[in-house]
Structure 1
Amino acid sequence: MVRASRIDLWGYLRGRDQTVTVAMLIGECARTCLGLTRQWLGIGGGTFAPHPRGADGKSPGPSHGVARRIEKLEAEVAYRQLLLEEVIHRTKNTLQLAVIILDEQIDAAGDAWISDNLRSLQKQLRTLSRTHNRYYGPIHSESRSLNLHLSEICSSVFNSFGERSGRIALSISVAEIQLRRHQEISLSLILDELLTNVLKHAFPCRRRGTVAVSFDVDDHSICHLAVRDDGVGRHLTYRGSTGLALVQGFASGLRGCLEITSHRGTTARVSFPLAAR
């Protein structure tokens, strides 16, 4: 019965109009997931409500009840993962559709000023689509190199700063560690924000320098992401900044912490526990 419900929901979601908003899709997914969860937990009865007695007519023991509850929770986790993957897929399709629609509007526009504005908007949507694919793509699969993924993020950030990044040398050292999906996404966003702050504040007035990015895990299963630079230091700039608040928020979500030190430059280090897979 669980498998049939998943297939029906999958077909329903795939059959939706491409123009449906992500917010509506998330709402529908949340309501559906809540309803099925209530059935799994036996709230108000339903297909998945627990039976009071076992197959032999006797009341099940405590161990049987625990095993049944674990099985239901594991099924719920798998189902929520399915919903998350569908939301990510629909977001990708919606962004691609918006780019295509703008392309048609550009061809139909008879005014050069309007066409330029539409091209500018289309360029921003393409960037947003590439960013979405980079952060929410299948980076958790074993065939995907974490070193390659983080290197792509570094290259993307550096390229976005144009000539300024050309004066800064970059070195990357990343251990191939298997992380959970939410850890990989948070790690990617933290690295993006830290590198952006380095390029904005550490090397003013056409100053040259180096930036070193490293990621590894110690003997206590604690992961460490470090972004070091030999720039002018930026503690005053960091203080109260939105970027720092974002990094601290993502670090807290990983049950970790952010530490910033200054010695011949600045080092920002985010440490968090490696979750058991």
Structure 2
Amino acid sequence: GIIMFTQVITERKLAEERIRRSLREKEALLKEIHHRVKNNLQIVSTLLDLQSDYTQDRQALEMFQESRSRVKSMAFIHERLYRSQDLARVNFAEYFRQLADDLYRAYKMSSDEIVLDVEVDVPPLPIDIAIPCGLLLNELISNCLKHAFKDTNEGRIRVALYRGDDDTIILTVADDGVGFPKDLDFRKTKSLGMQLVNTLVEQLHGEIELATNGGTAITVTFPDKLPTVTGVLP
């Protein structure tokens, strides 16, 4: 009886050790994947930067800059995941600081002149929400920096990301700049940035609202968990 009991305990310990070893191997593999994705995205960003040196056209240069910012916003997500203990969720407070610093540098803006107020009060977000949410932040803040303060060197941008009611997350990006053009339908504009914003909101199964009262405020509300897609590929 004692020998049998000892054998069962030994087998259980061996099984637990195999499980722990398997988890460590999977974590190492996942870290390596995030690291490689981040590096590949940085290569794409560098290629766009190098390609932009071959044109003097202002519109083309802006397109290259916007594309670089979009690629970097995704690369930052994978960098945060690679450095994190949690390989599936992103600490958005840390991520946002990195994204905002990069955008201010890209648009040659000073945070002393265009003040950025940030309120992030959400738990770490899963990657399927973090990537479209990061791209949304990139587009909305870029839009503020590009258009809201054309006639002034002073202003304020407010970003809030927090939990709403009924298991929702609310993202608001507001500025006190010139305001969104009143004759422009932001849901049907030809602007690539706003088209991308609307597409990302759909991807998040969210809703978007725009207010223009002393500036522009865009609010996006989306569920904190995306529906699971099931089915067999054709």
Normalised-by-shorter TM-score class: 0.5 to 0.7
Cα separation, partners in 2 of 1:159 and 1:225, compared to 1, 3 Å = same
Q: Which runs of 5+ in 1 are unaligned?
A: 1-81, 103-116
Aligned to 2:190: 240
Whether 1:258 and 2:208 are equivalent positions in the alignment is: yes
Higher strand share: 2
1:178 positional shift: 3.0
Whether 1:147 and 2:93 are equivalent positions in the alignment is: yes
Q: How does 1:120-159 map to 2 (within 5 A)?
A: 120=53, 131-139=73-81, 141=86, 145-159=91-105
Separation in 2, partners of 1:229, 1:97: 33
Q: Which amino acid aligns with 1:137?
A: E
Aligned with 1:180 (options 126, 137, 154): 126
Q: For residues 194-240 of structure 1, what are the alpha-carbon distances to aligned partners after superposition, in whole Å with 9 as ceiling and x for unaligned?
A: 00111111111234210100000123111100001111102356533
Q: When the two structures are superposed, what TM-score results if normalisation uses the length of structure 2?
A: 0.62
SS at the partner of 1:137?
Answer: helix
Q: When the two structures are superposed, what TM-score results if normalisation uses the length of structure 1?
A: 0.53
Aligned to 1:249: 199
Separation in 1, partners of 2:213, 2:41: 43
* Greater RCO structure (CA 8 Å; 6+ sep): 2
- How large is the RMSD of aligned CA atoms in angstroms? 3.9
Contact 1:224 1:271 (8 Å CA) reproduced: yes
Of 84-93 and 201-210, more deviation after overlay is shown by 84-93
Contact 2:149 2:177 (8 Å CA) reproduced: yes
Whether 1:273 and 2:226 are equivalent positions in the alignment is: no
1:182 positional shift: 1.2
Whether 1:206 and 2:152 are equivalent positions in the alignment is: yes
Contact 1:226 1:267 (8 Å CA) reproduced: yes
Q: Which amino acid aligns with 1:145?
A: N
Q: Which amino acid aligns with 1:135?
A: I
Contact 1:179 1:275 (8 Å CA) reproduced: no
Contact 2:44 2:71 (8 Å CA) reproduced: no
Separation in 1, partners of 2:131, 2:44: 24
Q: For residues 215-271 of structure 1, what are the alpha-carbon distances to aligned partners after superposition, in whole Å with 9 as ceiling and x for unaligned?
A: 001231111000011111023565331111101111111110221111111101111
- Equivalent residue pairs, number: 179
Separation in 1, partners of 2:179, 2:90: 35
Separation in 1, partners of 2:144, 2:70: 22
SS at the partner of 1:162?
Answer: coil
Contact 1:164 1:206 (8 Å CA) reproduced: no
Higher helix share: 1
Q: Which amino acid aligns with 2:78?
A: Y
Separation in 1, partners of 2:162, 2:90: 17
Contact 1:222 1:272 (8 Å CA) reproduced: yes
Separation in 2, partners of 1:127, 1:249: 17
Separation in 2, partners of 1:174, 1:153: 14
SS at the partner of 1:156?
Answer: helix
Aligned with 1:215 (options 161, 171, 174): 161
SS at the partner of 2:125?
Answer: coil
Q: Which runs of 5+ in 2 are unaligned?
A: 1-27, 55-64, 228-234
Aligned to 1:167: 113
Q: For residues 169-207 of structure 1, what are the alpha-carbon distances to aligned partners after superposition, in whole Å with 9 as ceiling and x for unaligned?
A: 111000132322110111100000000111111111234
Contact 1:256 1:272 (8 Å CA) reproduced: yes
Percentage of pairs with the same residue: 28
1:87 positional shift: 6.5
Separation in 2, partners of 1:98, 1:270: 29
